[in-house]
Amino acid sequence: MAVHYVSTRGAAPVLDFADVLLAGLARDGGLYVPDAWPTLAPGALARYATMPYAEIATEVMWPFVAGSIDEADFAAMVADAYATFDHPDVTPLRDLGGGLSLLELFHGPTLAFKDVALQLVGRLFDHELSRRGEKVTIVGATSGDTGSAAIEACRDRAAIEIFILHPHGRVSEVQRRQMTTVLSGNVHNLAVEGTFDDCQDLVKALFADEPFRDRVRLSAVNSINWARVMAQIVYYAVAAARLGAGAGTPVAFSVPTGNFGNVFAGYGAQRMGVPISQFVIGSNRNDILTRFLESGTMVQEGVEPTLSPSMDIQVSSNFERLLFELYGRDADRVSELMLAFRSDGVMSVDPEHLAVLHEQWAGARVDDEETVAIIKAFHRRAGVLLDPHSAVGVGAAERCRRDPSVPMVSLATAHPAKFPDAVEAATGIRPPLPARLADLLEREERYDVLPNSLDAVRNHIDGLLRP
Ligand SMILES: *Cc1c(COP(=O)(O)O)cnc(C)c1O
């Protein structure tokens, strides 16, 4: 029986996987979730203890895509996606002592956890578009970190053209080169003479321009896309299985959180039958979720820059999916709450529902000073170099861990070499780039510099797409 997808706001059409993949956001402004959570077969977790990652991934995700994609095609795309990772376990566990392990999600092409989802989603997009005989143009803005994962996911895919805007001269050389040294014909880097906010405003304006949007078939692969969440469910199952969940041993997870997509995937794994006893969310100074867990009220504030820039967010969009489950799938209630939040920047859940959340969810805020102290401490204690995002997760794990007899897995979302300045400041060691990127600073770059002007960017894209 195939999974179908419903919107958290209840007023968008029910879709199958392929349509949800291409749609992203639901038409009523909600997010798509499965109409029912499939469950793992009996004995599956015990088998996963030793199975290769890609085989587990195919099995775990199959119920979500069945009916939309041919089984052999799907298995081939999954195998291909995870062959781009340079560790045989894809997402290896590393023991930090004291029942704490690190789940390393950064062995993909761009050294950050977004590769786990995007390497598969790029392939799924291309496959479905090709089957339909369609093409899309993906346009996105990056402050340096997420653009490269999107570019690596879309490069050389016949059905996709991708344009990534970054603020000219305001991203680190490594971050820029991870994008601009991809010389594929369908990849276009635009360095905008402005800030990251300017880049985001330009992208929003392009999406708001209906004739343009239709003319170039504008699309996005952002973090609210269900397929990204789906791909992230897998490593929770893999990590738990490796730690003995097949024999019923529960596991706790700590997740450095921005948009809530990553940790919501953990919730999905739990609903599928993975015995997860606690979720800890770590935030930096931009702590909207931690404040919400304390008070039951979500209040939007301004964004402050931190050492962990990929978590510098104002709103955690994917939280809406958990809210939907918390309120027993009452889409009307979710719509009310989300509309209040949209208009006033404030939303509250009642004490009973907050108490339900507190049974399994905890959150901690880790500021920059503590982040540096954690990087330093774990280098000394365990000989590991943590990037600042991963350090926030570890700090939250230590602070919120409830049961020391339950293994705690903290998610490492970026390779330390991706944030070398912070790591060097904390430890005195500048982490080297892995072998696959060792010659990054010598590679040829290609990008166009454009003024901060909607006309300039639109004309540039139109010009490149016109045959
Ligand atoms: C995107 C990102 C995060 C936050 O992930 P969410 O799914 O938005 O919670 C954390 N760390 C790194 C390195 C990231 O790139």
Q: How many residues does the chain have?
A: 467
Distance (Å, whole) CA 14 – CA 164: 31
For residue 174, the one-letter residue type is V
Average pLDDT over residues 67-75: 97
Q: What digits encode the pLDDT tens for the residues 86-132?
A: 999 999 999 999 999 999 999 999 999 999 999 999 999 999 999 99
Q: What digits encode the pLDDT tens for the residues 397-450?
A: 999 999 999 999 999 999 999 999 999 999 999 999 999 999 999 999 999 999
Q: Which of 311, 322, 394, 423 to mutate to test the pocket of ligand 1 (most atoms within 8 A of CB)?
A: 311
- pTM: predicted TM-score of the whole model, two decimal places: 0.96
Q: Which atom, in ligand 1's list, is nearest to the CA of 313? A: 8
| Ligand 1 neighbour 163 (Cβ under 6 A) | no
Q: Which two tokens stand for residue 218?
A: 């504008």
| Ligand 1 neighbour 256 (Cβ under 6 A) | yes
| Ligand 1 neighbour 413 (Cβ under 6 A) | yes
Q: How far is the CA of 45 from the centre of ligand 1 (A)?
A: 26
Q: What is the pLDDT of residue 328?
A: 98
Q: Which of 143, 228, 259 to mutate to test the pocket of ligand 1 (most atoms within 8 A of CB)?
A: 259
Average pLDDT over residues 303-331: 94
| Ligand 1 neighbour 144 (Cβ under 6 A) | no
Q: Does residue 1 carry a pLDDT above 70? A: no
Q: Does residue 138 carry a pLDDT above 80? A: yes
| Ligand 1 neighbour 259 (Cβ under 6 A) | yes
Of 81, 89, 102, the residue nearest 227 (C-alpha): 81
| Ligand 1 neighbour 5 (Cβ under 6 A) | no
Tell me, yes or no, if 114 is annotated catalytic.
Answer: yes
Q: Does residue 466 carry a pLDDT above 90? A: no
**What are the DSSP calls for 345-377, one per residue?**
SEEE--HHHHHHHHHHEEEEE--HHHHHHHHHH
pLDDT range class, residue 46, cuts 50, 70, 90: very high
Residue 337, C-beta contacts closer than 8 angstroms, at least 6 positions apart: 323, 347, 349
What is the number of other CB atoms lying within 10 angstroms of the CB of residue 338? 20
Distance (Å, whole) CA 419 – CA 390: 11
Q: Which of 110, 114, 387 to mutate to test the pocket of ligand 1 (most atoms within 8 A of CB)?
A: 114
Find out if CATH 3.40.50.1100 is the number for domain 93-108+226-427: yes
Q: How far is the CA of 308 from the centre of ligand 1 (A)?
A: 9
Q: How far is the CA of 213 from the centre of ligand 1 (A)?
A: 28
| Ligand 1 neighbour 112 (Cβ under 6 A) | yes
Distance (Å, whole) CA 68 – CA 105: 28
Average pLDDT over residues 82-88: 97
Q: How far is the CA of 255 from the centre of ligand 1 (A)?
A: 9
Q: Which atom, in ligand 1's list, is nearest to the CA of 146? A: 15
Q: Is 433 left (phi over 0), alpha (psi -120 to 50) or beta?
A: beta
Average pLDDT over residues 145-161: 95
pLDDT range class, residue 84, cuts 50, 70, 90: very high
Q: How far is the CA of 259 from the centre of ligand 1 (A)?
A: 7
| Ligand 1 neighbour 258 (Cβ under 6 A) | yes
Q: How far is the CA of 466 from the centre of ligand 1 (A)?
A: 35
Distance (Å, whole) CA 339 – CA 244: 43
